[in-house]
Amino acid sequence: MTTYSYYPGCSLEGTSKEYDRSTRLVCQALGVELQELEDWNCCGASSGHHVSALLNVAVPARNLLIAEKTGRPVTVPCPACYLRLKEAQHEAKAPAMQAQLTQVLGEPLKDEVTVEPLLATLSQPSVLAEMRKKVVKPLQGLKPVAYYGCLLVRPPEIVQFDDPEDPRSMDRLLTLLGATVIDWPFKTECCGGSLTFAREDITLKLSRDLLAAAKERGANCLVVACPLCHSNLDTRQGHIAKKYGENYAMPIYYFTELMGIAFGLSPQALLIDKHLTESVGLLKSLGLV
């Protein structure tokens, strides 16, 4: 299998350590080798573009320059990081920006590195074939909705991943693991993102709408591929209950965590027990752990 340069991004170093842990564990189990990108820096989300157009491109472009020298494709768990790297590649094609970047970075970008989201990496046919062999605890009884968020598949001309209106890659992966995936029309709706820092009321409404829609369709959990989506949907459920008088108590899992469960790993090894909304009980009730 391919060896990837792994760009974890800032969130996976802090508030989303469980995403990083589960990513590393399932990739190891699948034989997908991850080499963390040496001396990587923050991608600039979500504030770089407010400072200057050049900084907005130069910050992620530095990571691309490092990645080009490894000769390996880059896999990125965080959709915001993925978008920033892809936008930098896109913007760097303009001659004026190329000249500025060369001056700032000291050498030109060659636009030779492939950047893909982790979900794409783990959806490769060869990886899925290996995944089938690793499933020892099929996710029977788990009825998730797959939530992609608004950054992973948009804007389509830049990210070039899955269908921007009806993505299916996570649905297929979860189905392979044995879950009964429930279709819903909220796959790419916004959870509020980083707006939570300035307008928590808006984030609470948007996140509440997602939880309500998932529950209405009979889902018993919600699965994400984004640290910020996980944060809003997992950590804000107490605030949502106070504001709306609605206690959803719905587990929010990273797709890599459920891969780990299907592979026979414990919730503790995957750090699922660190979620703010209790998430181990459902797995126990279904005999998955």
pLDDT digits (tens, 9 = 90+) for 83-95: 999 999 999 999 9
Q: Which residues of the chain have pLDDT under 70?
A: 46-50
Return the CATH number of 3-118, one of 1.20.1050.140, 1.10.390.10, 3.40.50.720, 3.40.50.300. 1.20.1050.140
The residue extents of the domains of the chain are 3-118, 136-285
d(CA 275, CA 281): 12
Pick left, alpha or beta for residue 95 (phi over 0 → left; psi -120 to 50 → alpha; otherwise beta).
alpha
Say what the pLDDT of residue 48 is: 66
Question: In the prediction, which pLDDT does 1 show?
Answer: 74
- What pLDDT does 46 receive? 67
Beta bridge partners of 221: 144
Domain 136-285 has CATH 3.40.1010.10: no
Task: Report pLDDT for 112.
Answer: 85
Per-residue pLDDT, 93: 94
On whether the CB atoms of residues 64 and 85 are closer than 8 A, the answer is: yes
Is the Cβ–Cβ distance between 195 and 219 less than 8 Å?
no
